[in-house]
Each structure stands twice: as structure tokens, then as C-alpha cells.
Structure 1
Amino acid sequence: MQQVVVNLLVNAADAIEDRGGTVMISSSLLVLSPHGIVHIKSARCPRGHDLIYGDFKIEGMASIRLKARCDGANGFILLDPIYGRNRHHFEFEAPEGKPLEVVCPECGTSLMVERGKCELCGSVTFSFDVPPQGTYEACIRRECGWQRWDAVESAGKKEYVELSVADTGVGIAKEDLPRIFEPFFTTKGQKGTGLGLAVIWGIIDNHNGTISLESEMGKGSTFRIRLPLRP
């Protein structure tokens, strides 16, 4: 973990360069629910097909690819792999008022929950297996965002250490933020390899933590790491 902090400090120093500025480090202890923190690393349909889709990533993480069918048309839904977060990508818009079905993109097996009902809006739900941690279930309505993962919810809130590294450097363009943790992606031109932040992300993920970035051009960036105190 020491190397993670060192790498982030080097990154912050590069952002400031010769223009001058400050780098700030802070830490705190938090008690948090699993929403917005726990990473869904495995997802399978009832027939065992892998739903994790590495060709489309959300903040450096492989998405969960499902297929939606409605009235003869179909398209993909790419789910955010962070439980409770809703940065999904929809490649399919269902006609208003038409029933939508979610299926496995490999075998076409329906993922709809028999008699499933969203606790927020009452709409039907879909689900998939998250081995070895039970089943993930979610509302079919895009606007709702309800999700449930009993194996994680039953564990309750956990203590996390939060570490923030902020700088007043040049910042990162908004269009670059979704790819910032991808291997070989760099905003430094020939000066960068594109591996530093990807390696940091991998270390944090292996420790069941998360890393996020907030940045604004001309104002600077803040990296925020959250790590569980206990497994």
C-alpha cells in the first residue's frame, strides 16, 4: 500500500509541474454500507455463461453485459459493476409501454425473476448469479435504480479507511475520466506509459477496496481510496 501512496504523490507532482501548487493528503475512518463500494467481480447466467464483459469498462472495471429484448427488437445493457451505483450504459431503448425481457447474451436464457417485484416501484426484476456470493437482483426500470444483493447486505456496514490525495494541478479533461484507470491509457503523452494508475487500481481492487477520481480542468484532481479494515 505504501507504493500506492508514493505513486499517487508522484502523479500529483506531475500534475503541478512548473506552475506551482499544493498536494494535500488526508485520512479518515468511515462506517459505510456496501452500496457504492463492493465490486461485482463474477456474474453468471443460470446455465453458467460468464456475463463479465471486459471490452466495455466503467471507470476501469469490466462491465456486466446483458441483452434486452422487446417487441422484436434487442440490444445490450452494460451494468456498472459497483453494487448500488448506477452508471450503466444502455444500447437499447424499449418502446414506452412495452414489456422488456432481460436475457443472457450468450444463450438467450431469461434472467427475469418469476413473480419478482421491485421494492421501490413495483416493476418486475431480473437477476443473475454472483458466485460464490449468492444472487444479484435489480429493477428492470432504468429510472428506478433499485438493486439487492442479499449476501452483501446481510454483512451490514463495515469500517473503512479513506485516504485522499489532492492536488491543485492542471486537472483531467472530463472525457478522459471514464478511461483513466485503463491499462495503457495516459494523458501525459510520451512521458507516460499508461500503467501507473492501472496498477494502483489493481492493487486496491485486490484488497477489496475502491479508488475514485474527481477532477476539473485548471483546478486539480482528488484521488480517494477506501479500504476495509477487515476482510
Structure 2
Amino acid sequence: MRILLVEDARLVAEPLAHALGRAGYAVDAACDGARGLELARTGAYDAIVLDIMLPQLDGLSMLAKLRRERIDTPVILLTARGDVRDRVRGLDAGADDYLAKPFHVEELLARIRAVLRRRGAPDSAAALQALGLCYTPEVRELRYECAATALTPKEGLVLEALMRASGHTVTRERLELAVWGPDDAASDTRLDVQVSLVRTKLRAVGAPVRIRAVRGMGYVLEEEGEGRERS
């Protein structure tokens, strides 16, 4: 799952991004509202953590623009201003939750999980199970029966996207967006490299599961011996 963090204070943004990454989220960061709006418009994010006091475009204005454009990605507002009027303005602008600085990172993570649950999104910390595999994004551990192996962050994002697809093909574009986000130059081979590495990890745990390339489309996770993905 991918989180957009829009925060101009480096001393706040860097530890938050690190904590979100450790919690199993992929994180993209923007240091001003204009850039945050540009990234948010891609629709690549499961949630947005948004500071109110931002250069170029403040957080409330950015949020209002998103909602006018019918972009309903869950938003948690961060601000040093904790009075009731600011909270009301933020919630009326379309925020899903509000957290006043200073705050504990664990509380932010809990609020992210809560807004994702309310939107029906899967919990990033919960173990995924498919085809006998068990993958825990929070610690990036892949298990099959009694065998286990660790995945790198990018390997984990590839496998997570394939497992969540429940046997359906995942396009190359969707996989690249899940792993690298919208703010990264495309490469013809980088996805294939990561898929190859995940295949190696599947073999390492002895899973009778393969990642099959679907010509002209993308990849599908299936049991060994299957020849066609479910439509």
C-alpha cells in the first residue's frame, strides 16, 4: 500500500517517512502543496498524510481541490494549530481525520489503519494468504509451510500486488505504480528484474507457485501447471 506524505518540515517528514516504511507502506513525499496536489491527482495512493501549513499551496486548499475533482483518497491532516476552528475547517474541507502536532507516530499509524478500514482498504500490517503462501508486509516475510524467507521492499510490493489480485493478471503499469510510484522515470527492465527476484524467493521456500508473464499485459500469480488466468 502506498502513502503520500505532504510535509515541508524536513525534521518531521524524514522520521515519518521512515516510520511509515517500517510499518509496511510504500511512501512518496512532497514538500509543498503544489507538488502534493500533482502527485495526489495520479490516484496512486491509498491514503494521504497532509500538513496544513505548506508553501505554494496550503493543505486545506490542496484538499479542497482534490475533493472538487472527486478524488476521494483518505486524508489525515497534520498541523501545529490544534484549536477547534482549524479542526472544523479541515473536516469540512473533506479530511477523514485530523492530528495536531506534536503527536506520537504510533497514533498516526493507528489513524491511518482506521481510515483505511473505513474505506474498505486492506490492512497493510495484516498477513496476506494466497495459494498456500503467507506474506506479512510489515516485516516482509514470505512463508510456505515450514519455510520462510525475507523479501526486499520492492520484492515485497511486487508480491503483495500479485497476491491481492487473487489470480488475475496485474498490468505492468499497475505493478510499476505500486512499486515505484508516479514520480519515477520508467525503465523497460526494472520490473522484470524484481519479478525474477521474487520468483527466486518463491523457489527458496519450495512453493509450487509461479509468476507467469502474460504477453502484452503483465504478470499473474498462479499454481504450477495452470495455463490461463481467471478472467
TM-score by length of 1: 0.26
User: In proportion to residue count, which structure has more helix?
Assistant: 2
User: In proportion to residue count, which structure has more strand?
Assistant: 1
TM-score by length of 2: 0.26
